[in-house]
Amino acid sequence: MTTHTRTGITWDYAPAPESADHIRIQDRYGLFLDGEFKDPRDGRYVPTINPATEEPVAEVAHGGPDDVTAAVASARAAQAKWAALEDLERAKYLFRIARLIQERSRELAVVETLDGGKPLRESRDVDIPLAAAHFFHYAGWADKLRYGVNAREVRPLGVVGQIVPWNFPLLMAAWKLAPALACGNVAILKPAETTPLTALLLAEICQEAELPPGVVTILPGDGSTGASLVRGVGGNRVDKIAFTGSTAVGRDIQAALAGTDTRLTLELGGKSANIVFEDAALDQAVEGIVNGIFYNQGHVCCAGSRLLIQESVRDEVIAKLWQRMGRLRVGDPMDKNTDVGAINSAEQLSRIEALVAAGEDEGATRRSIDCELPERGYWFAPTLFTDASPAHRIAVEEIFGPVVSVLTFRTQAEAIEKANNSRYGLAAGIWTDKGAKAFEVASALKAGVVWQNTYNHFDPTAAFGGYKESGFGREGGPAGLRPYLNVVR
């Protein structure tokens, strides 16, 4: 309910739900192996639920060790032929996949939202179009590989295993698959256990595109499936692992691969600083802060979760931010007016709740917006912590939820020092009217991506990746080709 200040008229948005009537979701999805959907060897299927309703959406095969063995064998058998194709022929397959994603975009957006809880507005306007854009982008690179990495001769790595998280399910699949295939590799993708459906629709798209069997394998399952893919079964390992997810699992994977010749890239967590200088356009900065931390319920590895505000404008920024937060619409992700949808899973909700409780215990001041939350499903009201100290857990650990912690600074040097005072280094934001200051600060920040006067902006041409415990390797643009190629000379 909103009351207009000048006229005093009280009004509310009418519901604007997207229809799911046109979507055909199967009751069950098998593994996508050898170009076909197949039952898992041990017959195990598990339901994936809609976190906004707690209702099952479909049953999905759970890949076990024998399925991993079959996947690696199928991929090995397909790789040489795929790599031997004319570069332009590989490009044509990628273009087809990109266009089919566009054709099925409405369906993909609805399924992404039903399976994962993110607002339809985001899956429709960001996740799906960007997934298509990644395939278009790397289709263009397939016949220009050596120019992308400045080499005379390049070769694919072979079979790559790719493990993705639940926060951007289709988009992360596209970030992984598009460059790998463009470079002549074949891929085995393991989607996250709570959000496997759009990857399985992408498998249907691979069929429609007549992609040769074995070039893409989709192996749904949980951490044990991922662990088998990393370690290999019966000595049959993949040639590279590309992982996006938590730092804890990233560390485990790195330890498992130490001393082997399996290549590795890791895109892990973050605790990114969003820095607001006193000379910034403050209303614009507030929009950027909101987009930085409440976008996708804060389930974003590069979320602007540490808000650094210059002391002279602290009170003004916090007042404007709190007022703006009050206008966020939390609830049904299928409603086109929803800004903040459902938390992805019960486990993630309890992680957020535990860290927020720690913030209160340690003495920071918590404010959560007053909003009606649906009775079923997993929800967390957008939350602001002030009076946080740099040592508080909420200022150090990744919360991965709609929770922002405010710290302050006096000088530019202090802003840089505080921003870099993190074991992570994925992204940062700088809000200032002074171009020279933005460049100076950006070059002093240990962060893979630095946004100036914007936040959470993604583009397939731009490299993305971390420093320190945020991982290594880059995805996107020509830099994203290098981790999928051997440079021969």
Comparing CB distances to ligand NAD, the nearer of 190 and 468 is 190
One character per residue 200-219, x = contact with Mn ion (rule: CB under 5 A): --------------------
362 binds, among Mn ion, ligand NAD, none (CB under 5 to 8 A by kind): none
| Measured torsion, CA atoms of residues 474, 196, 92, 105, in degrees rounded to the nearest 10 | -110
Residues 6+ apart with CB under 8 A from 118: 112, 127, 296, 297, 299, 333, 341
Among 451, 443, 440, residue whose Cα is nearest residue 411? 440
| Measured torsion, CA atoms of residues 200, 205, 211, 213, in degrees rounded to the nearest 10 | 30
115 binds, among Mn ion, ligand NAD, none (CB under 5 to 8 A by kind): Mn ion
Compute the least distance from the CB of residue 159 to ligand NAD, in Å.
16
190 binds, among Mn ion, ligand NAD, none (CB under 5 to 8 A by kind): ligand NAD
Compute the least distance from the CB of residue 194 to ligand NAD, in Å.
7
Q: Write the single-letter amino acid at 205.
A: I
Which residue is nearest to ligand NAD, using beta carbons? 226
Comparing CB distances to ligand NAD, the nearer of 173 and 318 is 173
Give SS3 for 134.
helix
Residues 6+ apart with CB under 8 A from 338: 119, 120, 121, 329, 330, 331, 332
Compute the least distance from the CB of residue 222 to Mn ion, in Å.
13
Binding of residue 115 to Mn ion (CB under 5 A): yes
Comparing CB distances to ligand NAD, the nearer of 82 and 175 is 175
Compute the least distance from the CB of residue 57 to Mn ion, in Å.
6
Q: What is the DSSP string of 167-178?
A: SSHHHHHHHHHH
Comparing CB distances to ligand NAD, the nearer of 400 and 431 is 400
Q: What is the SS3 assignment for 413-462?
A: HHHHHHHHCCCCCCEEEEECCCHHHHHHHHHHCCCCEEEECCCCCCCCCC
Longest alpha-carbon distance in the chain: 73
Residues 124-183 close enough to bind Mn ion by CB under 5 A: none
Compute the least distance from the CB of residue 263 to ligand NAD, in Å.
16
Comparing CB distances to ligand NAD, the nearer of 268 and 330 is 268
By DSSP bridging, strand 273-276 and strand 427-431 are parallel
269 binds, among ligand NAD, Mn ion, none (CB under 5 to 8 A by kind): ligand NAD
Return phi, psi of residue 218, to 5°. -115, 120
Query: Distances from the Cα of 6 to the Cαs of 3, 9, 11, 319, in angstroms?
Result: 9, 8, 13, 20
Q: Which residues bind ligand NAD (CB under 6 A)?
A: 163-167, 190, 192-193, 222-223, 226-227, 230, 244-246, 249, 252-253, 267-269, 301, 348, 351, 398, 400
Choice from 33, 48, 249, 277 touching Mn ion (CB under 5 A) = 48
48 binds, among ligand NAD, Mn ion, none (CB under 5 to 8 A by kind): Mn ion
Out of 267, 398, 469, 475, the active site residue is 267
Burial class (CB within 10 angstroms; exposed 0-12, middle 13-18, buried 19+) of 141? buried
Whether the Cβ atoms of residue 183 and residue 156 lie closer than 8 Å to each other: yes
Compute the least distance from the CB of residue 400 to ligand NAD, in Å.
4
Q: What is the DSSP string of 211-238?
A: PPTTSEEE----HHHHHHHHH-BTTB--
222 binds, among Mn ion, ligand NAD, none (CB under 5 to 8 A by kind): ligand NAD
Comparing CB distances to ligand NAD, the nearer of 93 and 378 is 378
Query: Distances from the Cα of 279 to the Cαs of 272, 273, 313, 412, 441, in angstroms?
Result: 21, 18, 9, 12, 14
> From CA 62, how far away is CA 223, in angstroms rounded?
11
Comparing CB distances to ligand NAD, the nearer of 222 and 287 is 222
Which residue is nearest to Mn ion, using beta carbons? 48
Compute the least distance from the CB of residue 63 to ligand NAD, in Å.
10
Out of 183, 206, 301, 302, the active site residue is 301
Residues 6+ apart with CB under 8 A from 64: 40, 41, 42, 44, 221, 224, 225, 228
287 binds, among Mn ion, ligand NAD, none (CB under 5 to 8 A by kind): none
Compute the least distance from the CB of residue 244 to ligand NAD, in Å.
5
- Contacts with Mn ion by CB under 5 A: the residue count is 3
Active site residue 301: yes
167 binds, among ligand NAD, Mn ion, none (CB under 5 to 8 A by kind): ligand NAD
Q: Which residues are identified as catalytic?
A: 267, 301
Binding site for Mn ion (CB under 5 A): 48, 115, 194
